Amino acid sequence: MTAYRQLETHYQEISVIDEAASILNWDYAVMLPNGASENRAEHLALLAKLSHERRQDARVGDWLAEAEGKLDAADEEEAFWQRANLREIERSYRQATAIPADLVEAKSKAMTRCETRWRQARADADFSSVLPELTEVWNLTRQEAEILSEASGLSLYDALLDLYEPDGRAADIDALFEDYSAFLPDFLEAVLSKQSAQGAFQAPSGPFSIQDQRALGERVMGVLGFNFENGRLDVSTHPFCGGTPADVRMTTRYDEADFTSALMGVIHETGHGLYEQGLPLTWRKQPVGKARGMVMHESQSLFMEMQVGRSPAFLSYLRPMLTEAFGGSGEAWSLENLKRLYSKVERSLIRVEADEVTYPAHVILRYRLERAVLAGDLALADLPGAWNQGMQEALGVQPPHDGLGCLQDIHWYMGAIGYFPTYSLGAMAAAQLAEAARAAVPDFDDLLAQGDLAPVLEWLRRAVHGKASSLSTQDILREATGKPLCAAAFKAHLQSRYLGG
C-alpha cells in the first residue's frame, strides 16, 4: 500500500471515531437522562482522546513526507482531490501534534460538565451557578489557544478561529463587522420607521400543537430536498444539526403559542443538513470531503432560511401549507400579512429568534466579548454586565435576567470559542451565493413560488456542496460568485427586502 493510501485508511478510521462521537453528542442533547451525563462525559472524552491520538500519530508525518509528489491517482481530477486531501491532512496533523492528548481529554470532560450545568443555569437564569464550570472550560481553551498560537504564529483568537474557519482571521472579520456596524443604525431606523407607518400586522392565534408543527416542518424539509432515508428531526434545548452525512441529526424546539420560530428554525437546520447530504460520497470519510468550515456551513443554513424561506416567493407557496396545517383563515393568514410577519424587524434579546437585520449585532457583540475574555481584558464574572451594556449600546435593549442574556447560547459553555463570527459571515456569504444563483438559475423566484427547489439545490450542489474542502472558503466564493467574501451583497439584499417596496 502506498503512503497516500495508508493516510486514507488511517483517516477513514478517524472519521468513524468522530462520527460515533457525533451521534453520542446528539443522543446527549436529545435523549440522555440527566443522571447519565457523567457517564456520557467519559464516553465522549475517550473518543476525543482516541481521535486525537490517531491524528498526532508519528506515522502520519512519515506518510505525508513520502506521499508528497507520489500520488497514485487515475486521472487529473482524482489527483486534484488527493492533493487537496494531503493539504487538509497536513493541517490536521499540524494542529494535533501541537496539543497534548491529556488536554483534549480534560477539555472534553469539562465541556460536558459545563454544558450539563448550563442547562439548569439557563432555566434558573443563574449565571453564578455555572461560573466554576465555565471558568474551567475557558482556562483549558486558553491553554489550547496558547499552544496553537505558539505552533502556528497566529494570535490567540486566530488560533481558535482557525479550528472553525480554516484560514479565517480576526483582522478580516473586524473590517466586515465595522462596515456593517456603520451601516446598521441608520438603516435600522429607516426600516422601523417604515414598518411603523404600515401599522401593526396580525399574529396568527394559536395554540399550534407540537404534532402539527412537527408534521409541517418535516413536509417543508421534504420540499427543500432533505433525504429522510439519511436523516431525522428531533427536539433539543438549543437547535442544531449534527450526526454524519449518511445520518444527519437535526433538532428544533417548539412553542405552542408561535409556530413561526420553529418552522424557520427547521428550514435553517435543513440548510445545514442539505450541505452534509450533498458532500461528495467518494471523499466523505477523508478530511477533504468534510464541509469547508463554519462560514460555508452557516451560508447554507441562512441561504435556505433567509434567501429562500422568508422570501415573498416562497411564502406564497408556503401559505396554503400553513393554513392547511393549522386550520387558519382570515386576514392574519393572508399572504401580505405573512410576508410582514416573516420580515418583521425589532430590537430583540434572543439571537436565534432575531431578524436578519439585527442578527449581526448579536453576533458582533458575542465576538467582541469572547475576544476580550480571551485577551484577559474582561473577567468571566463580569460577563453578564458587559453583555447587558453591549446589548444596550447595540440595539437599545437590556435583558431582564441572564437567562435572556449571556446564558441564552450554548456555545461558550460547550467550549466553542471562536465560532460566533461565522454566523454573520455566513449570512454575507449566503447573500452573495443567492445573488449568483439568481443569475445562474432561470426563473429563480418563480421556482420558489412553485415549491420547486430542485434546480436551486442542484446549483448549490455544484457551487458549494460538491466542493467540500477541496478549496478554501474564499476560492469557493470566487468560483461561485466572482468575488471574495464582502458585505455588499448582504446590504443590497437588506435594502431590497426591507426598504425596496
- 53-80 tens-digit pLDDT: 999 999 999 999 999 888 888 899 999 9
Surface-to-core class of residue 31, CB atoms within 10 Å of its CB (0-12 exposed, 13-18 middle, 19+ buried):
exposed
**Residues 308, 368 within the same domain:** yes
Domain final residue, candidates 107, 122, 137: 122
Q: Do 351 and 225 belong to one domain? A: yes
User: Are residue 78 and residue 200 in the same domain, yes or no?
Assistant: no
- 176 & 309 share domain: yes
Q: Which residue has the higher pLDDT, 200 or 455?
A: 455
At residue 139, the pLDDT reads 96
In whole numbers, what is the pLDDT of the chain averaged over residues?
95
Q: Which residues contact 434 (CB under 8 A, 6 or more apart)?
A: 303, 307, 489, 493
Paired with 247 in beta bridges are 244
- In three-state secondary structure terms, 71 is coil
Backbone phi, then psi, for 99, in 5-degree steps? -105, 125
Give me the CATH number covering residue 382: 1.10.1370.30
**262 and 187 share a domain?**
yes
One domain, residues 335 and 196: yes
- pLDDT tens readout for residues 109-125: 999 999 999 999 999 99
In a domain, 285, yes or no: yes
User: What is the rounded distance in angstroms from the CA atom of residue 123 to the CA atom of residue 404?
Assistant: 10
Enumerate the β-bridge partners of residue 233: 250
pLDDT at 275 over 60: yes
Closest CA to 290 of 467, 83, 67: 467
Whether 441 and 325 map to the same domain: the answer is yes
Contact 260, 242 (CB under 8 A): no
Q: At what angle do helices 210-224 and 260-278 cross, to 10 degrees?
A: 40
Give domain status of residue 175, yes or no: yes
Grid cell, residue 284, equals 466523505
Which residue, 442, 395, 432, 400, is CA-closest to 176? 432
Q: What does pTM read for this prediction? A: 0.93
The answer to whether residues 207 and 302 belong to one domain is yes
Could you tell me the three cell numbers for 23?
Answer: 451521534
Give yes or no for a contact between 37 and 112, defined as CB atoms under 8 angstroms apart: yes
Helix, strand, coil: what percent of the chain each, to 5?
70, 5, 25
Per DSSP, what are the bridge partners of residue 242? 249
Average pLDDT for residues 114-142, to the nearest whole number?
96
Quick one: pLDDT at residue 367? 97
Q: Which helix (H) or strand (E) segment is 453 a member of?
A: none
Using alpha carbons, select from 221, 231, 320, 307 the residue that is nearest to residue 263.
Answer: 221
- pLDDT, average across residues 378-386: 97
Q: Which pLDDT band holds residue 501 (cuts at 50, 70, 90)? A: low
pLDDT score of 324: 95
Tell me whether residue 132 is in a domain.
no
Whether 378 is covered by a domain: the verdict is yes
Contact 201, 340 (CB under 8 A): yes
Residue 43: give the domain boundaries: 3-122
What are 2's three cell numbers?
502506498
Exposure of 367 in the CB half-sphere (CA atoms within 13 A): 25
Render 363-379 in DSSP notation, one character per residue: HHHHHHHHHHHHHTSS-
Average pLDDT over residues 280-289: 97
- End position of a domain, from candidates 64, 97, 122: 122
Give the span between the Cα atoms of 173 and 341, in whole angstroms: 31
Among this protein's residues, is 269 annotated catalytic?
yes
Catalytic residue among 19, 105, 115, 269: 269
Residue 147, domain member (yes or no): no
Burial of 482 (0-12, 13-18, 19+ CB in 10 A): exposed
Q: Are residues 68 and 175 in the same domain?
A: no
**How far is residue 160's CA from residue 164's CA, in Å, rounded to a whole number?**
7
- Contact between 233 and 273 (Cβ < 8 Å): no
Query: Do residues 401 and 482 both lie within one domain?
Result: yes
What average pLDDT score do residues 161-169 get?
Answer: 95
pLDDT (average), residues 190-212: 93
Is 164 contained in some domain? no
Same domain, 401 and 257: yes
Q: How far is CA 255 from the centre of its chain?
A: 22
pLDDT digits (tens, 9 = 90+) for 305-331: 999 999 999 999 999 999 999 998 999
Any domain includes 145 = no
Is the per-residue pLDDT at 425 higher than 80?
yes
Nine cell digits for residue 256: 405552542
Confirm whether 375 is domain-assigned: yes
412 secondary structure, DSSP code: G
CA angle centred on 478, ends 83 and 153, rounded to 5°: 60
The pLDDT tens digits of the residues spanning 429-480 come to 999 999 999 999 989 999 999 999 999 999 999 999 999 999 999 999 999 9
Domain's final residue, options 58, 88, 122: 122
Same domain, 412 and 488: yes
User: Over 60: is that where the pLDDT of 165 sits?
Assistant: yes
Number of domains in the chain: 2
